[in-house]
Amino acid sequence: MAYDRFGRNIHYLRISLTDHCNLRCVYCMPEDMTFRPNAEMLQDDEVLLLVRLFASLGFDKIRLTGGEPTVRAHVVDLVREIAAVPGIRSLSMTTNGVLLGKLAQPLKDAGLQRVNISLDTLDTVRFKKITRWGSFDQVWDGIQASEAAGLTPVKLNAVVVRGFNDQDIAGMAALTLDNPWQVRFIEMMPFGGATDLQRQQVVTAAEMRGQIEAALGPLTPGNNGKLDGEARIFRLPNAKGELGFISSVTAPFCAACTRARLTADGKLRLCLLRDKEVDLLTPLRAGASLEQLRQIVLDGVWVKPWGHGLAEGEFATNRVMSEIGG
């Protein structure tokens, strides 16, 4: 088992399968983003070796992310092999949904259990403005295909950015009235100079809740008041689905953090919002034994930072979200 020095058992690994993406969301990366060469990235056999290694340390929950995980070559085969690793109890993916129309069923058949799909607005014009390259209809098809394939419960992630989609909050929340989905609203996190967006464009979870209650009625707490991962859960009156609020900026959930991240270039990142990383790819390619790699992971987890410093104005500066695996 992997513990940090604060006694937290770290058993949830988010793996960035690639830093590449088929969209260019305004809060995530610049339009002229440059990507790392493939040779610097974890290859399929390296991903699998590390998944087995993490599983042997008690990691039982994996989320595949990116960049856009579905643009990785052979992603279905890789999912199949990860799903078969003994000890992996939960396997999910965070995706922009663009390719799910054709990939949802193969991914489900390969052993993927659930998806979180990013959708920030129901307005096709604003969707284009936020994602720069995306088509709303394609993502909507992806959501339907995921539900049909049984990648459920479908969770939708909406990052709210003032001036882009703050008028869409109630409309997105209303999706839960008729659909058994979890619609999760995420406070935008400011990332070291990667985007033109400003702190003033952060919409707080409290403001989002206020807008939803004004439009759709009172929210009642769900999940017995406990966090569902990083989300605080609520429900609208008579809704089939539920709402989640991820308030990383205004009410961090660091005390309950159980996660570590593996970047696409093979670094163990201990906190999304702290620059501290431990290189796994270099020792792996230099021939380190499994026992040596296990020790590197355990030592890295031990010094996991307590939490982020957004409230103190401290930001991660060495990577953007797509490189870390949000």
Q: Could you list the residues that contact ligand SF4 (CB under 6 A)?
A: 21, 23-25, 28-29, 66-68, 96, 118, 321-322
Residues within window 101-130 making contact with ligand SAM, judged by CB under 6 A: 118
Dig out the tokens for 209 from the structure: 């809740």
Instruction: Sketch the per residue contact string, 22 through 61, with ligand SAM: x for CB under 6 A, - otherwise.
Output: -----xx---------------------------------
Residue 146 touches which member of ligand SF4, ligand SAM, none, C-beta under 5-8 Å by kind: none
Shortest distance in whole angstroms from residue 238 CB to ligand SF4 = 32
- Please tell me whether residue 247 binds ligand SAM under the rule CB under 6 A: no
Shortest distance in whole angstroms from residue 25 CB to ligand SF4 = 3
Q: How far is CA 217 from the centre of its chain?
A: 29
Q: How far is CA 42 from the centre of its chain?
A: 19
Among the listed ranges 88-96, 225-233, 277-285, 304-312, the one in contact with ligand SAM (CB under 6 A) is 88-96
The closest alpha carbon to 158, from 76, 220, 224, 245, belongs to 245
Q: What is the DSSP annotation of 191-251?
A: -TTTSS--GGGB--HHHHHHHHHHHH---EE-GGG-EETTEEEEE-TT-SSEEEEE-TTTS
Strands (E), the chain: 12-16, 61-65, 90-95, 114-118, 155-160, 182-187, 220-221, 227-228, 231-235, 242-246, 259-262, 267-269, 277-279
Shortest distance in whole angstroms from residue 69 CB to ligand SAM = 7
Are 13 and 61 contacting, i.e. CB atoms less than 8 angstroms apart?
Answer: yes
Residues forming a β-bridge with 267: 279
Instruction: Sketch the per residue contact string, 134 through 163, with ligand SAM: x for CB under 6 A, - otherwise.
Output: -----------------------x-x----
Shortest distance in whole angstroms from residue 65 CB to ligand SAM = 5
Residue 41 touches which member of ligand SF4, ligand SAM, none, C-beta under 5-8 Å by kind: none
Shortest distance in whole angstroms from residue 68 CB to ligand SAM = 4
CA angle 131, 132, 136 (to 5 degrees): 55
Residue 270 touches which member of ligand SAM, ligand SF4, none, C-beta under 5-8 Å by kind: none
In sequence order, what are the residues at sequence separation of 6 or more whose Cβ sits closer than 8 angstroms to the Cβ of residue 7? none
Among the listed ranges 54-62, 143-151, 182-190, 268-276, the one in contact with ligand SAM (CB under 6 A) is 182-190
What does the binding site for ligand SAM look like in residue numbers (CB under 6 A)?
21, 27-28, 65-66, 68, 94-96, 118, 157, 159, 186, 188-189, 191, 321-322, 326
